[in-house]
Amino acid sequence: MKVWGLHLAVLAALALLGLVLPQYHATNLARIMVLAVFAMGYNLAFGYAGLLSLGHALFFAAGMYGAGLPAWHWGWGAAPALLAGAMAGGLAAVIVGLLALRTAGVSFMIVTLMFAKAFALTILYFNSWTGGDEGFVVPDTGRALFGATLAADGPRYALAWGLFTVALGLSLLLVRSRFGRVMVALRENEERARMLGINPYAAKLQVMGISGLYSGAAGAAYALLFGYVGGTFADIQYSILPMLYVLLGGAGTVLGAGLGAALMFYLTDVASSVTDAWLFVVGAALVVLVLFAPKGILGWVRARWWRDLP
Amino acid sequence: MSLLEARGLTRHFGGLRAVDGVDFDLEAGEIHALIGPNGAGKTTFVSLLSGRLAPQAGTIRLAGEDITRTPAHIRVRKGVAYTFQITSIFPGLSVFDNVALAAQGARVRDLKAAVQAALSRVGMVGMAAEVAGVLSYGHQRLLELAMGLALAPRVLILDEPTQGLAAGEIEGFKALVRSLVPQVAVLLIEHNMEVVMDLATRITVLNFGQVLAQGTPDQVRADPAVQEAYLGA
Ligand SMILES: Nc1ncnc2c1ncn2[C@@H]1O[C@H](COP(=O)(O)OP(=O)(O)OP(=O)(O)O)[C@@H](O)[C@H]1O
Ligand SMILES: [Mg+2]
């Protein structure tokens, strides 16, 4: 009860903020919510199941291009494009998982990293079709959803909030289900899990698929809400970002991904407005975090006050 | 036909013959002790049975079905449960979640009831909310046992379950194992001879990866080869 109350309160607060915040901040918040969905997907793999992937940019970009390309080339509307993007992310993650999950630990990091790099290069290679380096602007037809346009502030915020809500609700249901328990078991002691009748490979592949769906949906939404698709989103930094969000907010906590995304976003925003060396500020903040709250903010809250925080 | 049957089971590590052509039968409803000096190959042998290791030669059958190449997690689902010699639990999870993971592997519907039942059999009711990693060593051993029980197995393989238990806890353990048969067949690796002689209906003695003797406790006790090699009489 308490758990659902907290999460509903967060969602209500976000809905309210969309109505009262000045436009600049509302747009920021929409961006944060979409990135938070990406981070939630990353969190399911990394925070819960212990899969340290460096390839999630691939799934995010698969969602972007999965939505953006049909919108650009074939004039798809926002609804089918979103769906296609999410599916593309999930499919990409399953394909990568089929191979990468035969490894673990550092090898898994390297294999996922290589897949993402290969995908980024593929985008550049087919530049006549993907827009290559420069990317492309999503046409207005692709940003039309049920008579509204996602280029407008209200609908944009509403869709970001809706996606965030669905993602948060599903995460909560998932981690509190039997399968959620299995995910944590894989992280904590895979050999023991196997000897309890769990097939680690199959379970991890499912986690990858779900994580990819999240990442793909986020990538698709990002493309449609902000109107641009480009190869930079397939770069390694977009694999690192969700990891930072999750580490900051608390790996293995449902709300941690969103909290981390918001804090990191504004930290970067503020730091870059006062100094050119904003990366230094962000780095220093991360060092402080690792030293004083290695489990992230909500991980610390869970250890201190609320053991059952999911 | 025995419940679990091994023929010519072999596993070498380089030149070391850890398990070397072992024939073995576990009958339904029996408590079968597996004994032998340190390094005799007991853990390796049961790892072959449970599927944690693949044999280099030989066959394993469960109720007549060849499971030699069956992956470990499927053997567990078919009813072969293994508790680790070196305690292996989920330290960051609650006692409840540890046992629930086992129970849901057995496709139990009412998870709470199944967990409570397993915990009460090992005398750990009321500890469900505690974090497994901070339990005493003895309680972690019992938790491991509860996880084995929650799997509702046909064959329960216990690898030195009494190691680290206090004398009082060993009495409880003996009563527990007795209460499992005849529904469950128990394969018990044990160094504590008193426990072995009290519980076992049959004993297999392993030495240098080979079966040295097999029989009832009395037969094994009287076997001169066993006395020389193991009991050191
Ligand atoms: N993975 C492995 N690689 C190499 N050698 C191994 C491996 N596992 C076990 N051995 C060796 O095989 C032999 C049998 O070991 P095993 O653990 O099966 O003995 P055990 O009878 O269970 O002994 P204990 O009573 O001490 O538990 C030992 O000499 C051990 O060092
Ligand atoms: Mg052993």
| A77 is a domain residue | yes
Dihedral angle, C-alpha B225, B229, B231, B233, nearest 10 °: 80
Confidence class for position B190, pLDDT limits 50, 70, 90: very high
Between CA B63 and CA B54 the distance in angstroms is 19
Instruction: Give me A122's structure tokens.
Output: 């593929």
| A243 is a domain residue | no
Beta-carbon neighbour count of residue A293 at 10 Å?
18
Q: What percent of chain B has pLDDT over 70?
A: 98
pLDDT, tens only, B31-82: 999 999 999 999 999 999 999 999 999 999 999 999 999 999 999 999 999 9
User: Rounded to 5, what percent of chain B is helix, strand, coil?
Assistant: 40, 25, 35
Q: By residue range, what is the domain housing residue A216?
A: 2-234
The structure's pTM equals 0.92
Of B93, B111, B151, nearest to A196 by CB-CB distance is: B151
- For chain A, list residues with pLDDT below 70: none
Question: B176 burial class (0-12, 13-18, 19+ CB within 10 angstroms)?
Answer: middle
Min CA distance, A97 vs chain B (Å)? 20
Measured between CB atoms, does A77 come within 8 Å of chain B? no
The amino acid at residue B65 is E
For A97, the 3-state DSSP assignment is: helix
Ligand index nearest the alpha carbon of residue B22: 1
The amino acid at residue B82 is Y
Residue B232 pLDDT > 60, yes or no? Answer: no
Of A184, A197, A200, nearest to B105 by CB-CB distance is: A197
Between CA B143 and CA B93 the distance in angstroms is 12
B189-224: burial string, b at 16+ Cβ within 10 Å, e else: bbebeebbebbbebbbbbbbbebbbbeebeebbebe
Residue B214 pLDDT > 90, yes or no? Answer: yes
Q: Is A131 left (phi over 0), alpha (psi -120 to 50) or beta?
A: left
Instruction: Give me B148's structure tokens.
Output: 């084995």
| A228 is a domain residue | yes
Confidence class for position B233, pLDDT limits 50, 70, 90: very low
Question: A16 burial class (0-12, 13-18, 19+ CB within 10 angstroms)?
Answer: exposed
Confidence class for position B231, pLDDT limits 50, 70, 90: low
Min CA distance, B121 vs chain A (Å)? 19
Closest ligand 1 atom to B85 CA: 27
Could you tell me the CA-to-CA distances from B209 to A68, B16, B41, B169, B203 in Å, in that order? 63, 9, 5, 31, 15
Q: How many domains does chain A have?
A: 1
Min CA distance, B26 vs chain A (Å)? 20
| A307 is a domain residue | no
Task: Report the candidate in A259, A244, A229 with the shortest Cα–Cα distance to residue A60.
Answer: A229
CA A106 to chain centroid, in Å, comes to: 22
Instruction: Give me A9's structure tokens.
Output: 């309160």
The amino acid at residue B36 is G
| A305 is a domain residue | no
| A288 is a domain residue | no
Site to probe by mutation for ligand 1, drawn from B9, B11, B13, B22 as the one with most ligand atoms within 8 Å of Cβ, is B13
Tell me the pLDDT of chain B averaged across its residues: 92
pLDDT, tens only, B146-175: 999 999 999 999 999 998 888 888 998 999
Measured between CB atoms, does B143 come within 8 Å of chain A? no
Between CA A77 and CA B17 the distance in angstroms is 67
Closest ligand 1 atom to B42 CA: 21
| A274 is a domain residue | no
pLDDT, tens only, A103-162: 998 999 999 999 999 999 999 999 889 988 889 998 888 888 888 888 888 899 999 999
Q: Phi and psi at residue B185, in whole multiples of 5°?
A: -95, 130
What pLDDT, on a 0 to 100 scale, did the predictor assign at position A151?
82
| A265 is a domain residue | no
What pLDDT, on a 0 to 100 scale, did the predictor assign at position B205?
94
